[in-house]
Amino acid sequence: MEKDWMFADLHIHSRFSRACSKDITFENLVKWAKIKGLNLLGTGDFTHPIWFEEIKKLRDNGKGFYYFGDFPFIISGEVSLMYSDGGKSRKIHLVVLVPSIEIAEKINSYLDTKGRRDYDGRPIFGIHADVFVRDLLEISKDIEIIPAHVWTPWFGVFGSMSGFDSLEECFKEQEKNIHAIETGISSDPPMNWKIPFLSNKTIVSFSDAHSFWPWRLGREATIFKETDSYVDVISQIRENKIIGTIETEPAYGKYHWDGHRVCNFSCPPKEAEKRNNICPICGGLLTIGVEHRVESLSGESSYKNKKYFYTLLPLHEIISLFLGVSLNSKKVWDIYNTLLDKFKNEFEVLLSVSEKELLDLDIPEKLVRLILINRDGKIKVKPGYDGVYGVALIEGSLERQMTLF
């Protein structure tokens, strides 16, 4: 970790989005962002009327950063587009980054001509993706639109259930104005490097957090060079000058492998193909996962300017895995707080604290080993599928890394 790094999570949600914590406030977001080690957040859900009124109370630094106390936010939100194109139902989620309150107000006025914004923090509109991009960029060229969790089966731009086979197929002549894609939990940069039409796109990563807890907020993030300017953040995205990303092990994602949750069945892509993508238990179609979809679109790629990435599970996950208890249990919090009382923040523990410093604390040596294995991105995971998270395997991970000690 360098002093001029800025850890940013620009895709989060407010308490007004479905299936999100009702305790999400700017106060809680800032408290836990600092504990996590984040330096910049997106506001999330700027399209929701009540949350937007709270956003407007933040202090503007005149350069597109909006502060709650001493902590900066960029105005952001997620929009769901559902429409028919190419004879197929499309469902696409897009992250929208906005340069100012004034521009956000203009976007909201535009959306009001297309439907309602008040029923959900992630509103749904029947606007074609290319039209949406064109119309927003007519409001301001500084608006940044990033396809969210691009491989998710139902709401990713390349998803197996409702997605497209390329960015150009989705965004048509507006493809040139899509500068980046978000990996999502079930994919990482190397998977996206395989895709020829992404060779000139920046790969970013954000959490899509539905709460402020540190095992959700910042579980995926993008590392920028430190700045206090919205324009500079967008420039780093558009010119692929980000430093790197924080990624979750893709197998941990809920849609990594093919499978059928109801039948408790999952399998890798090659096995699914041998079965003609049919569930052997019920005879229904398997939900095609991210790994399968990536392989189907892979080809000769010459991805330029690859960035470094860290593959990490959140610290709560590691402690929970070690103890064999739930994430939010008192035992997990006791160890977590011991580490955070000693060291600056969670990213410091996950990425920088030395083996000796960890061993000097009153925590088990086996847990120290897991933290170091996690730092190397070598936690073994049973892949997730069809809405079921992957499962980290403590013994399998430790057996492969006994040489660390």
pLDDT tens by residue, 47-73: 999 999 999 999 999 999 999 999 999
Report if residue 101 sits inside a domain. Answer: yes
Which of 207, 236, 251 marks a domain boundary? 251
Helices 315-323/365-375 angle, 10° precision: 140
State how far the Cα of 88 lies from the Cα of 71, in Å rounded to an integer: 43
Strand, coil or helix: 289: coil
Q: Domain check: are 40 and 176 in the same one?
A: yes
Residue 260 phi, psi dihedral angles, 5° rounding: -140, 105
> What is the model's pLDDT at position 302?
83
Classify 361 as helix, strand or coil.
coil
Does residue 365 share a domain with residue 218? no
- Would you place residue 74 in the very low, low, confident or very high pLDDT band (cuts 50, 70, 90)? very high
Query: Are 327 and 227 found together in one domain?
Result: no
Co-location of 338 and 236 in the same domain:
no
Q: Which amino acid, one-letter code, is at 217?
A: L
Cβ neighbour number for residue 371 with a 10 Å cutoff? 19
Read off the pLDDT of each residue in 26-45 and give the average, rounded to a whole number.
98
Q: Do 20 and 138 belong together in one domain?
A: yes
Stated pTM of the model? 0.95
Nearest in space to 107 (alpha carbons), one of 149, 68, 52: 52
Quick: pLDDT tens for 242-277.
999 999 999 999 999 999 999 999 999 999 999 999
Measured CA to CA, the distance from residue 65 to residue 97 in angstroms comes to 11
CA 141 vs CA 20, 135, 137, 177, 340: distances in Å: 31, 10, 5, 9, 41
Report the candidate in 233, 230, 218 with the shortest Cα–Cα distance to residue 29: 218
CB 207 within 8 A of CB 9: yes
Report H helices in 25-64.
26-36, 49-55
Residue ending a domain, among 232, 251, 270, is 251
Q: Are 92 and 157 contacting, i.e. CB atoms less than 8 angstroms apart?
A: yes
Statement to judge: residues 153 and 23 lie in one domain: yes
Place of tokens 């000693």: 342
Asked whether residue 103 falls in the same domain as residue 204, the answer is yes
CATH number at residue 42: 3.20.20.140
Residues 63 and 141 grouped into a single domain? yes
Residue 327 inside a domain? The answer is yes
Residue at 239 is within a domain: yes
Q: What is the mean pLDDT of residues 392-397?
A: 73
In a domain, 394, yes or no: no
What amino acid occupies position 2? Answer: E
Decide if 117 contacts 172 (C-beta within 8 A). Answer: no
Q: Is residue 114 domain-resident?
A: yes
Average pLDDT estimate for 386-395:
88
- Banded pLDDT at 396 (limits 50, 70, 90): low
Q: Which neighbouring-strand residues pair with 85?
A: 88
- Same domain for 240 and 325: no
245 and 360 housed in the same domain: no
16: in domain: yes
In angstroms, the CA 185 to CA 9 distance is 13
How many Å apart are CA 281 and CA 263, to the nearest integer? 7
Phi, psi of 37 (to 5 degrees): 110, 15
Scanning 269-354, the segments in alpha helix (DSSP H) are 269-274, 290-297, 315-323, 330-342, 346-351
Q: Are residues 243 and 368 in the same domain?
A: no
Q: Is residue 223 part of a domain?
A: yes
Clarify whether residues 323 and 181 are in a common domain.
no
- Nearest CA to 43 out of 15, 16, 20, 11 is that of 11
181 vs 203: CA distance, rounded Å: 5
What is the domain count for the chain? 2
Are 120 and 149 in contact by the 8 Å Cβ rule? The answer is no
Domain that holds residue 346: 315-376
Is 383 inside a domain boundary?
Answer: no
Please say which residue of 251, 273, 288 terminates a domain: 251
Q: Which residue has the tokens 């809920």?
A: 254
Lowest mean pLDDT among 162-166, 318-322, 390-394: 390-394
By C-alpha distance, which of 141, 144, 160 is closest to 152? Answer: 160
Q: Which residues contact 75 (CB under 8 A, 6 or more apart)?
A: 42, 43, 46, 55, 64, 66, 97, 98, 99, 100, 101, 104
Give pLDDT, residue 402. Answer: 34
Cα–Cα distance measured from residue 240 to residue 244, given in angstroms and rounded to the nearest whole number: 10
Residues in the chain: 405
pLDDT over threshold 50, residue 401: no
